[in-house]
Structure 1
Amino acid sequence: MALGCADGIKESLLLQKLPPPTLLLALDTNLSLARRAARRLHAHHKIPRKVDLTSTFTFLNPRLKNKNHQSLQTLPRLITLFGVLPNLNPLPLLRRLAQQMHPRDLLLFSVNLAPGNSSFAGARKVLPQYDNSTTRRWLEAAVKRYRPKLPPGTLEFGIHPDPNQNSLARIEARWICQKSTRIVFASRRPTASQVNSWIRATRLRTTARFSEPYGEEGLWLVSY
């Protein structure tokens, strides 16, 4: 189950290491992207669906059967969640996933990390990856295209506490106008220990963990 799959590029790299699944659900907030991912990914049966990642995940339990009339709900599932956690409130998202998981299910998710032991100190180290001329041009163009009613203003990047967890740093791009300020982009940067605390809170179990040498990206494989 490719959750928040976009066009399925990351999932396709993973599937190169795995046998084709019996059923693949390509799930994204954009149905056209989910359909593109379904075409890209190899599986015996494929279903693209538009989903709301902030709602109850009942779509993770489709009432489907294989050719032997065996319910697919009884088969173990690998759920992937790549590039989503920075953009949504992470703990409620993981809790909703945990509520829909069965024994033998696995969840593989990626996290943009704050390197080190402090979310705010780590976020300051990676801030130049966001606050640069290339990202500014892209974001300013996106603001003009998708939010044309915003009054003229300037784009400012900064690090702020997440409104749901004060110890969690959130890199924000704010559109500063004369009379108002709008958040047009936000990305959470937790430490590895904060991610581990979310997993414990959902009563999931870490099966494996991977991180790149600089500690800025991580992968967690967790089980029910």
Structure 2
Amino acid sequence: MLEKIEQVFVHYSQFPDRVYQDYLDSFSFKQINNKFHYASVKQSQKWLKIHEEFSPARQDESCIQAYSLCFDKTAEILAKDSSSLNLIGLGCGGGEKDKLLLSHISHIFSTEKPLTYYPVDVSLSLAIISAQKVRGSFANVAVAPFVCDLLQSNDLISLINARGTSQKNIITFFGMIPNFYPDEILPILTNFLERGDLLLFSANLAPGFDYLQGIQTVLPQYDNELTKEWLITVLLDAGVEREDGNIEFEIEADSHNPEFQRIAAYFSLKRDVNFKLEERLIDWKKGERIRLFFSYRYTTPKIQAILKSYGIDILGYWEAASQEEGVYLCQKV
């Protein structure tokens, strides 16, 4: 009977009252919180389809090789440590990369050196998908999925650490860092890390020597019908109509960190839009723009510089031949 039940831990950041307040604020402030693009099974499936179609990690053999080299180096480091292990997949998505990592380090963990996998995501659907994917491939791995909002979960690491003793944490953050303001997410990642822990993350990069031209090159990975259909879902579900506006993509600078550029998607209103969410009136005017999404593009030197400012050292990095994605193995200084 137990195989018919999935025990999931839900952090208070994703309790219904808090989630709904975040939802209302997204529409009131005309900036949709990224987490509401993954809230339903329908949205998660649309995102997985986009990932399959456009992600270099799914389409580019050299990108897959970059992950494999990173994971081999991780296994080399872990082999020198006798501690039991936690693999904490922050923003685990569909769990493919965490599963690949486990295949590279599976010879390291055992009954004497157990490993627990914590797939963590804002989406219940994706957390369960990742949990079941890993459990189906690694019977000797304990799995405990968590649902949380990372920006409101500074205490999550203490909750996980309290479940065991003498453990080394391997924290993965694949494909996530571009979708957060650097000044918001990096302090949280720093808080998650203790000396000796490992941080593995990937970032979307701007290929070539010209930063802005590189971002322009990858814009079609975002400005396409699959992505537009995914992004508009949150509006349609709230009662907005397709004919109310158009989705437009652009490259914009970060006002707080002007050295960083990001790709942003806006819903540009062609007419006035009024609707109610519970008792809150949402009143949008023709010509206004609703920000649906943003994704930063980095370069490895930019990543090295900003991580150093937060006391995180890069032990090694690997880039796809296209230079569109990089994988980084890090530790706290």
Which bin holds the TM-score, normalised by the shorter protein? 0.7 to 0.9
- Once the two structures are TM-superposed, the CA of residue 201 in structure 1 deviates from its matched residue by 0.8
1:93 aligns with 2:201: no
Contact 1:81 1:110 in 2 (8 A): yes
What are the Cα deviations for residues 136-155 of structure 1, in whole angstroms up to 9, with x where unaligned?
A: 44444x25534433670112
The structure in which a higher percent of residues are helix is 2
Match of 1:212 in 2: 320
> How many residues get paired?
216
> Unaligned 5+ residue runs, structure 1?
66-70
Distance 2:176 2:257 in 1: 18
Among residues 236, 250, 269, which one is paired with 1:145 in the alignment? Answer: 236
Q: Which has the higher contact order (CA 8 A, sep 6+)?
A: 2
Could you say what secondary structure the match of 1:34 adopts? helix
Match of 2:141 in 1: 44
Matches within 5 A, 1:1-224: 1-19=88-106, 20=109, 22-41=115-134, 42=138, 43-61=140-158, 62=160, 63-65=162-164, 71=165, 74-140=166-232, 142-149=233-240, 152-178=244-270, 179=286, 180-224=288-332
Could you say what secondary structure the match of 2:196 adopts? coil
What amino acid does structure 2 have at the position aligned with 1:200?
Answer: K
What amino acid does structure 2 have at the position aligned with 1:38?
Answer: A
Q: TM-score, normalised by structure 1?
A: 0.87
- Once the two structures are TM-superposed, the CA of residue 175 in structure 1 deviates from its matched residue by 0.9
> Unaligned 5+ residue runs, structure 2?
1-87, 271-285
What amino acid does structure 2 have at the position aligned with 1:167?
Answer: E
In structure 2, relative to structure 1, the CA distance for the partners of 1:198 and 1:40 (3 Å cut) is same
Could you say what secondary structure the match of 2:126 adopts? helix
Identify which range, 1-10 or 103-112, moves more after superposition: 1-10
Please report the RMSD computed on the Cα atoms of aligned residues, expressed in angstroms. Answer: 2.1
Could you say what secondary structure the match of 2:132 adopts? helix
Distance 1:145 1:54 in 2: 26
In structure 2, relative to structure 1, the CA distance for the partners of 1:184 and 1:102 (3 Å cut) is same
Bigger Rg, structure 1 or 2:
2
- Once the two structures are TM-superposed, the CA of residue 120 in structure 1 deviates from its matched residue by 2.2
Identify which range, 130-139 or 210-219, moves more after superposition: 130-139
Distance 1:44 1:132 in 2: 39
- Once the two structures are TM-superposed, the CA of residue 40 in structure 1 deviates from its matched residue by 1.6
Distance 1:154 1:114 in 2: 26
What amino acid does structure 2 have at the position aligned with 1:64?
Answer: R
**% identical aligned pairs:** 31
